[in-house]
Structure formats: C-alpha cells, structure tokens
Chains A and B, each alone.
Chain A
C-alpha cells in the first residue's frame, strides 16, 4: 500500500536526515563519527533534492477493462490544460 519503491523514499531520507542533525547537535560524537554522520547527511540531502528537482508531472489513469482487470495508462498531458477541454 505504501508508495515507496526499492529506493529510499523521500520520507525515509528526510526523517533520517532530521535524526542525524539532532545527533550531531547533541555534541556527544567523536570527530570520526561526526564526520561519518556528516557525509551521510550530505548524501541524504542529495536524495531529497533530486526528488524535489523532478519537474515533470506524471498522471496515470486507472482503468478497468471488460474482463474486470485493472490497468494503468499514462494520461496524455497538455502542458497548460491537462484535462477539461475535450
């Protein structure tokens, strides 16, 4: 039911990032550990950004055929008026 794929979802990456910052700000880390955490934070922030940077909207139509099977069909999108003028 979740929309997550095998890749890390935005939600996971974002929450992980939040936790790391909290840990770092706790001030209990050795330099080594802090550095590792920082590297991880950078990686996570990139995952988040690459998700946010996706600029293309995708709309799939959920349809049911005569035999009752569900199928997806990518909707043809006009940039300005996606639907409504048919």
Chain B
C-alpha cells in the first residue's frame, strides 16, 4: 500500500508544496525568451496585461505588469507573433505557473517599425490623414510659428531661408527637445501653446536628419493628435527627403526637409516685387488707354459741329488738354515708380480741364440757333427763339416756351 510506503515522509500543506515548487522553478529557469503567438489578450483596469502565448501544440499564461507594459512602443494584439523575455514563476495562490514578462518584441520586424505601422493604420482608419482635413497654407503669412530645437541645424536652416525670402515675416519659436523621453510631450505642448498664444498664420514642426530612433518623437500618437487638433495650419518637416513620419501624414503639408518647409511657408520677396511692378505697369497702361480714348473723343468734338460754331474758350481748353496729354505720354515713357504722384496730379488737372468731364456728368451747353452765342443768362432768350443744346453724346434743337429771369448768381 502506497500510504504505508510513504509513512516516513512528512505531511506538508498546499502552500508549502507551492513554495517548494516555486523555488525549484526559480533555480532552474531563471530567465527565458519564448517565441509564440498572442491570444486571449486582456488589459486589466490596473493596466496589467494578461495573455496566452501559444504554438501549434502548447500554451502558457503570460502576465506583463503595468510598469513594463508602459514601456512598450507598439500595441499587443491577438495573433501577433512575439518574442517574450521574462521569468517563469508559480502563481502560488492557484498553483499555476506563468511567465512574468519583462520585455516583448515583435518577431521578424522591429518594434518601432511595427509601432509605426500600427499607429499609421489606426489614425488612417480614424480619417486623420484624409485630404479633406488638410487646410491650405496661407499665401502671405505675417507670422510663422516654429516648433523645433533651438540648438539644431533645423532652426538655422529655417531662419536662413526665411531671412533670404521674406525677412518681414515674424518668427515665433517654441523651443523643444526633439528627441528623448520627454520630446513627444514637449512637442505636443508647444503646438498647443502656439495655438493659445495666437498670431501665427502657419506652424512648422520638425527637426533635422537622424536615425529612426532620433526621429521617433514624430511617430508618437500624442504628437499626431496635437497636430490634428491645431487650429493653425501645420507644415511637418522631419529628417531628410526619404524619412516619412506619422506627423507628415497628419500635417496639412509635408516638407521633405526643414529648409523646404521654410520655402513652402513664405513667398519670395523678389518675386512679389516683380509682380507688383507688373501690376502697376498694367494699371498705367489702362490709364493711358483711357486718356487716349478721351483725347480722340475731344478731337472729334473739335473737328465737328461744336468747335466750328463754338467758343474760342473751348479751343483754348482743347489746346491745353493736348499739351497735358503729350506731357503725360512723355512721363509714361520716361518714368517709373517714383513719378507716380506727378502723374496723378497731371491726370487730375487734365480731367478738370476737359469740357467732356462736365458734359459727362449730365450738363449741356445751350446756344442760340440764330447767332451761335453761348447762352449764359435767360434774359438772352426770347419766347419762341430756337436754341441748340449740346450734350455729352449728341445734340438737339429746342424752342423756348417760357423765360424765367431768376438770378442764381450775383
């Protein structure tokens, strides 16, 4: 009988047994690395993570405590193949052994690479990269916010380009560390601060080139969310041409480098100056064309009906006008920007001089049909007399039916 054979063995408690087994496991399996597929993933309210690791034949329980879990860059998912490093231990309360994980890495792909792909897929599904969310970068910003390190190459490049293209644009730099533990939160805070401070029309966020780890802050969700939440349009400029980050996808515009971001943010001063010069040339030639039109109308009057039978005064005015127009044409040929005010006063005088300007406003010239005198007083007229009335466009003949001799002047 079995019991009899074991007579000499001491009777121990369940707890004692588990303690002993636990000790044996600890001595023989101090540290292991296990490859397997995650299933039954559960995240407890306490933030500890529990899952089962399995291969085709077996499975083992795994716990990842909160402190270790918070260091994971990527997200654990059911079905994910991982390598888990940790200690095997007995959960004495239940008499079950389990793996207490200290670190987990995806199998066959880098942890950062996986984290990047996961976040990218998640934010994309949320619609954060949608073209419809992208806001236009303003054409003429007057102030530009910059979120980057105040010690890196990026800020130097940005300031140089901005100074060359558009020194008048004000720059507001929110200095942050762009790599290391604190970088993601610092970048996100700086973006919020710039929004809160106001007065920026566009924000450049980024840094110069570096390794995947160096650029990592710009792949963090907290940074992506801050970019998406910004009321001010954002240009993301991280690393070199070939580096793509989550920030680039969320931002309103991606620039291949910080220098390129500065070029995208402001127009070139020299180009704008040329543009304004061209516009003023067009304004001048429109003005000249209008004056020439005016002149030819005047000539038509001069050569036609009015001047033949009308006052020397008009002829004098016409000559003065001709002179002004000639002077004006000369001014156009010889002058550019500096002569504008001279030009304006001349055109102004020209306008005052022209009888057309008066007629154009709805006035007419009345003259006696009998002798061609210009009629200035009603007492020059008798009832039944014929008059000619010259208008801005055309003329007509009329009969005087009533004469009122009120005097408006002197």
Contact = CB atoms under 8 A, between A and B. Distances in A.
Interface of A: 1-4, 9-11, 14, 17-18, 20-21, 24-25, 27, 29-32, 34-35, 38-39, 41-42, 45, 48-49, 51-64, 70, 72, 75, 81-84, 86
B387 to A, nearest CB: 28
Contacts of B151: 83-84, 86
Contact of A31 (B156, B162, B200, B290): B290
B172 A35 contact: no
Contact of A52 (B142, B152, B168, B199): B168
Interface in B178-228: 189-190, 193-194, 196-201
Nearest to A14: B140
Contact of B280 (A41, A82, A83): A41
A79 B204 CA distance: 22
A48 B200 contact: no
Contacts of B173: 59-62, 75
B298 to A, nearest CB: 11
A35 B348 contact: yes
Given A34-B286, A49-B276, A62-B172, A3 B143 contact: yes
Contact of B279 (A10, A18, A84, A86): A18
A10 B232 CA distance: 19
A83 B171 contact: no
B294 interface: yes
Nearest to B197: A70
Given A17-B276, A34-B286, A3 B360 contact: no
Interface string B120-144: 0000000000000000001111110
B315 interface: no
Contacts of A81: 156
A58 B166 CA distance: 11
A64 B193 contact: yes
B381 to A, nearest CB: 32
B231 interface: yes
18 contacts: A1-B198, A1-B232, A2-B201, A3-B141, A3-B200, A24-B283, A34-B287, A35-B287, A38-B286, A49-B273, A54-B168, A59-B173, A62-B172, A62-B193, A82-B155, A82-B156, A83-B150, A83-B151
A29 B171 CA distance: 42
B159 A59 contact: yes
A58 B189 CA distance: 23
A67 B167 CA distance: 33
A7 B140 CA distance: 15
B309 interface: no
Contacts of A17: 276, 279
A11 to B, nearest CB: 4
Contacts of A48: 272, 276
B290 A10 contact: no
B283 A10 contact: no
A48 B273 CA distance: 8
A4 B199 CA distance: 8
A11 B139 contact: yes
A21 B155 contact: no
Nearest to B341: A42
Nearest to A2: B201
A2 B21 CA distance: 70
Most buried by A among B145, B231, B340: B340
Nearest to A20: B283
A62 B198 CA distance: 11
Nearest to A26: B286
A17 B281 CA distance: 12
A72 B273 CA distance: 31
A9 B168 CA distance: 12
Contacts of A4: 142
Given A3-B199, A52-B272, A62-B197, A25 B139 contact: no
Contact of B163 (A2, A38, A57): A57
Contacts of B155: 82-84
Contacts of A59: 159, 170-173
Given A31-B291, A57-B159, 14 more contacts: A14-B272, A20-B283, A21-B286, A31-B294, A31-B354, A32-B357, A49-B273, A52-B269, A59-B170, A62-B145, A64-B193, A82-B155, A83-B156, A84-B152
Nearest to B275: A14
Contacts of A45: 276, 279-280
